[in-house]
Amino acid sequence: MVKRFSQLSNGMRVVTERVDHVATVSLGIWLNKGSRHENAAENGLFHFIEHTLFKGTPRFSARDIAEAVDGVGGILDAYTAREETCYSIKVRAVHLESTLALLADMLQHPTFDPHELSLERKVVLEEIKMGEDDPEDRVFELGIQRYWSDHAMGRPILGPVENVKRFDHDEVAAFHGRFYRTQDMVVAAAGDLDHDQLCRLCETLFPVSDRPPADIVESPPEVRGFQAYHTDDRLEQVSFTLFTHGFSQRDPRRHALNLLSVALGGGMSSRLFQSIREQRGLAYSVGCYTVPYADCGYFNLYGACSPENYQTVLSLCFDEIERVQQDGLDAGELRRAKEQVIGSLLMGYESTYNRATSLARALMVHGEIYEPEKWVALIESVEADAVRDAARYAFHPDKRALAGLGAASGRPDDGFLAGRGFHDTPILIPH
């Protein structure tokens, strides 16, 4: 396996890993911009453009694009996140040049035809409705918006309905012109490829962007602790999400917090799964995870249960939080958590798409080529004291934010929450 990196004259950065035992290539073009780089009026534009780049160019119609990819047995996909946007292809190596040319045309020369925009607008609005119909998605969005207050990081990636309904050709085209610059793109690929040939293709297919960079001032969001209960008597369960403070992608303490999340709620042997589901049968879904960003991060504990069990489930969650704050993890838990994280990392690395993704993110965040051996060593080096310290930092009462969504009968007692460190005025939000 050979990894290589090149900085091209058009400003693009290209990082690759040759994998000799496969006959395909996974390639992505990452734009190091996402929904956090939108203002309130623009919120949703990165995601909307991600959809509409598939709708045609002067050379190819939307159907042409679909048939061209299907015709070579390929996979064309895209996603929008808070700090990045990605367009990816996976094809047999022999078809890399033609599909990369298609992707280059899509990214650089979209027509943004008003009729196609109108059709795709309906699709995005349906996507928003789909999220609103999912209680777990809904309570997450309600929670993170309040947790990060008015900061762009707290806004929905898909944007509000009123924005999506307003986006027109001129606004979409102008936004695309500001952000889709070769200087802000990372090309990462893994599989059966030649690095030098890929670099030549990228220089040919992507002329240097002559537009100035967008004027953006980034600052981390301020954490806002709260407790809120959103009532919806149509729901059979209460879905809840607890946000606490996390670490950024550049903070070495994030590894300890990640191990904590795995031991606390990341698998069938985790404390929350065993205590709440296996031993008491109070919930089907309960767990936790961490999300690091460039300058901030969060720890999320989530679950869903019957309204009559909500307060009990919360109490069990807080019991485990208090235990890890006081005592940390025992040696067996820490070993299992490390094996889970390392095993997941290495199994994921068996996918060429995951290899390309890891290369791109390491380059964008850390400015270096991804080496799994380095990350394994960092995980192995985490000691029990570091995990306990991470728990004490993350679960400090001032940093906790709890949002519940369900029938009014499930709302926990104010005194119960005050006894668990929620001293602010409870927020009751009717449907």
Beta carbons within 8 Å of 343's beta carbon, 6+ residues apart: none
SS3 state at 371: coil
Question: Cα–Cα–Cα angle for 322, 325, 329, nearest 5°?
Answer: 105
Q: Which is it for the CA torsion 207, 210, 214, 218, positive or negative? A: positive
DSSP string, 302-323: EEEE-GGGHHHHHHHHHHHHHH
Per-residue DSSP letter, 152: G
CA atoms lying within 13 Å on the CB side of residue 427 = 16
Q: Which amino acid is at 330?
A: D
50: annotated active-site residue? yes
Two tokens, residue 412? 């926990």
User: Are the beta carbons of 92 and 24 closer than 8 angstroms?
Assistant: yes
Angle between helices 96-108 and 195-205 in degrees, nearest 10: 30
Residue 124: enclosing H or E segment and its boundaries?
Answer: helix 114-132
Q: Which of 17, 42, 50, 320 is catalytic?
A: 50
- Listing from the earlier edge strand, what are the strands of the sheet with 13-18? 2-7, 13-18, 185-191, 24-31, 85-92, 75-80
Cα dist from 241 to 137, 139, 304, 323, 338, whole Å: 10, 7, 9, 20, 25
**Is 33:84 a contact under the CB 8 Å cutoff?**
yes
For the CA atoms of 88, 89, 90, 95, what is the dihedral angle to 10 degrees?
-150
- Angle (deg, nearest 10), helices 96-108 and 62-70: 160
Q: Closest Cα partner for 233 from 100, 379, 410?
A: 410
Q: What is the Cα–Cα distance from 213 to 145, expressed in whole angstroms?
A: 28
Q: Catalytic site residues?
A: 50
